[in-house]
Structure 1
Amino acid sequence: MANTYSQIYIQIVFSVQNRETLLKLPWRLEVYKYMAGIIKSKGLKSIIINGVEDHVHILLELKPEISLSDLVRDIKKHSTIFINKQNWLNYKFSWQNGYGAFSYSHSQVNKVYNYIKNQEKIHLNRTFQMEYIEFLKKFNVEYRDEFLFKWIN
């Protein structure tokens, strides 16, 4: 788009179906690289992708002509196909429906980057459910418990 300038930073968060702990190292890192490739193919820049065994965080620069929901759909769809083709699991992998998307200013990017980079440490003391609900509250996102991810305890 001519004469259109933007600076949109979005953190996307989504989990493995039923929040199972399936994203094992070292192949989890291959999935993140693959996701970065999907994002790049859309003409976008991924800043960091990281997570733990049951969920993923993606920080990226979004362009206004790209639909966020279409982007997340494509990341989930193509990474699912990639994971299943690798035969890392004995059954079909899938992501849970839904996602969180949270916007940040340029001044917050380094802080968010470090937060995502340190997911392993963060989740020593905090579950994904706790983290996700904290995001929703911090960003004043209205939600109903029955429409949140399926939590497995």
Structure 2
Amino acid sequence: MSHSKTKTWIHAVFSTKNRQPLIRKTVRRAIHQLIRQQLIDQSCYLDSLNSVDDHVHLLFLLNPQRLVAEVVKHVKGSSSHEINRQNLIPEQFVWQTGYGAFSGSESQVERVRQYIAHQEEHHQKLTFAEEYHQFLNFHGLSGEENGEVGNR
């Protein structure tokens, strides 16, 4: 092969610090736009983005010149900086330290899109903590073994 080709879909999820309900409907669109801009800055294509009061889900194509960790760090750091700079919410805004990032195949993209699109309905039945533990179990990860603790 004379050229390298990659297509890595990432479903990322991260929450507000201590899972505080800071992503209110009144500021959700603005926060989403800040996150979208940070992914553009990292040359990553954002396919889907949605949130509820205490966490966000993203589906994006990873830029092959970037690491997942550096993209997520940039998105979280720059978006929280802008949320605070623009005074979008009265409290100091901080994302929780950790995050989940799960790769998915092309055949699962539509399923992930739908999952992200229906967050409000989904979280009428399940808390973020329950959802996140389901992700860890589904992907063969155990929370405590991988440094996941309650409200870090």
Q: TM-score range by the shorter chain?
A: over 0.9
- Contact 1:98–1:149 (Cα < 8 Å) also in 2: no
Moved more, 22-31 or 114-123: 22-31
Q: What residue in structure 2 maps to residue 40 of structure 1?
A: 40
How does 1:18-29 map onto structure 2 within 5 Å? 18-29=18-29
Structure 1: stretches of 5+ with no match in the other structure: none
- Contact 1:6–1:64 (Cα < 8 Å) also in 2: yes
Sequence identity percentage: 32
C-alpha displacement of 1:61: 0.6
Q: What RMSD over aligned residues (CA atoms) do the two structures have, in Å? A: 1.8
- Kindly provide the amino acid, as one letter, of the partner of residue 18 in structure 2: N
- Corresponding residue pairs, total: 151
Residues 25/144 of structure 1: CA separation in 2 closer, same or farther (3 Å cut): same
Q: What residue in structure 2 maps to residue 14 of structure 1?
A: 14
Q: What SS does the aligned partner of 1:89 have?
A: coil
Q: What residue in structure 1 maps to residue 93 of structure 2?
A: 93
- Kindly provide the amino acid, as one letter, of the partner of residue 56 in structure 1: V
Q: What residue in structure 1 maps to residue 110 of structure 2?
A: 110
TM-score by length of 1: 0.92
| Cα deviation code 1:82-125 (max 9, x no counterpart) | 11122233331100101001111001000100100100000001
Q: What residue in structure 2 maps to residue 57 of structure 1?
A: 57
CA separation in 1, counterparts of 2:149 and 2:36?
A: 24
- Kindly provide the amino acid, as one letter, of the partner of residue 30 in structure 1: A
- Kindly provide the amino acid, as one letter, of the partner of residue 115 in structure 2: Y
- Contact 1:49–1:56 (Cα < 8 Å) also in 2: yes
- Contact 1:48–1:60 (Cα < 8 Å) also in 2: yes
- Kindly provide the amino acid, as one letter, of the partner of residue 129 in structure 1: A
| Cα deviation code 1:123-150 (max 9, x no counterpart) | 0010000000000000101331793243
